[in-house]
Amino acid sequence: MSTIAQLGALTGGYVVDAARTRIGFVARHTMSTRVRGHFTEYEGGATLNGEEPERFSARMTLRAASLTTGNPQRDELLHASFLDAEHHPSLDFASTGIRRVDDTHYKVSGDLTIRGTTRRIVLDAELGDAGVDLTGDPADAHGDFRVRLKGGVTVNRNDWEVNWNSVTSVLVAPKVRLEFDVTLIRLS
């Protein structure tokens, strides 16, 4: 059973399945290496309408202090200096519109707030398997209906004043790739 055939069955409210979701970034560091990081604490949801996809809405809140790169010293710098997690404890996204590219790809516009600054972004999003298991049943073994969205966007961190001091900020490229692989569970 394909995602396309099941688009109408997607209508409903959804919450993020934290156990099956990853939200993070990739940034170039010192011009030759890439640093990857991800958030471990977040919440969000979406409203999907399979018959009228333009009625899609989504929201996501990421806890700034939960960002991890696997390097505690770098993580502390990111929390304190880059994200200013003490004064801005969350990064927030709220969708404002959606445009269908093809049967499984969409452009999702929305407002991203980092460090108290809000900028409009456009995410490339791919609709993955619509919760259909190998038997064709739309629910998993627990009876949950799931939808997967994955994609990302490249942003300029300076647009949100995400930097620390001018001497060392040149070590991290201004362009940062934000990536998401989100699984949503339909509310009953």
Between CA 6 and CA 4 the distance in angstroms is: 5
Domain extent at residue 71: 7-186
Specify the pLDDT at position 164. 63
Is residue 1 in a domain? no
Is residue 2 in a domain? no
Q: Which residue is it, tokens 């997607």? A: 10
Residue 132 has pLDDT above 70, yes or no: no
pLDDT bracket for residue 69 (50, 70, 90): very high
Domain of 22: which CATH number? 2.40.128.110
Is residue 168 in a domain? yes
pLDDT one-digit tens code per residue, 76-114 = 988 988 899 999 999 999 999 999 999 889 999 999 999
C-beta of residue 106 within 8 angstroms of C-beta of residue 53: yes
Q: Which residue is it, tokens 């339909």? A: 186
Is residue 74 in a domain? yes
Is residue 166 in a domain? yes
Between CA 106 and CA 150 the distance in angstroms is: 10
Q: Work out the mean pLDDT of the chain and round it to a whole number.
A: 87
Amino acid at site 4: I
pLDDT one-digit tens code per residue, 12-50 = 999 999 999 999 999 887 667 899 999 999 999 999 987
Number of domains in the chain: 1
Q: What is the pTM of this model?
A: 0.87
Specify the pLDDT at position 128. 83
Which two structure tokens, joined as six digits, stand for 118?
């809000």
Between CA 44 and CA 135 the distance in angstroms is: 29
Is residue 157 in a domain? yes
Q: Which of 108, 107, 101, 130 is nearest to 8 (CA)?
A: 130
Specify the pLDDT at position 86. 95
Mean pLDDT calculated for residue range 165-176: 69
Between CA 174 and CA 158 the distance in angstroms is: 6
User: Residue 76: in which H helix or E strand, if any?
Assistant: helix 72-77
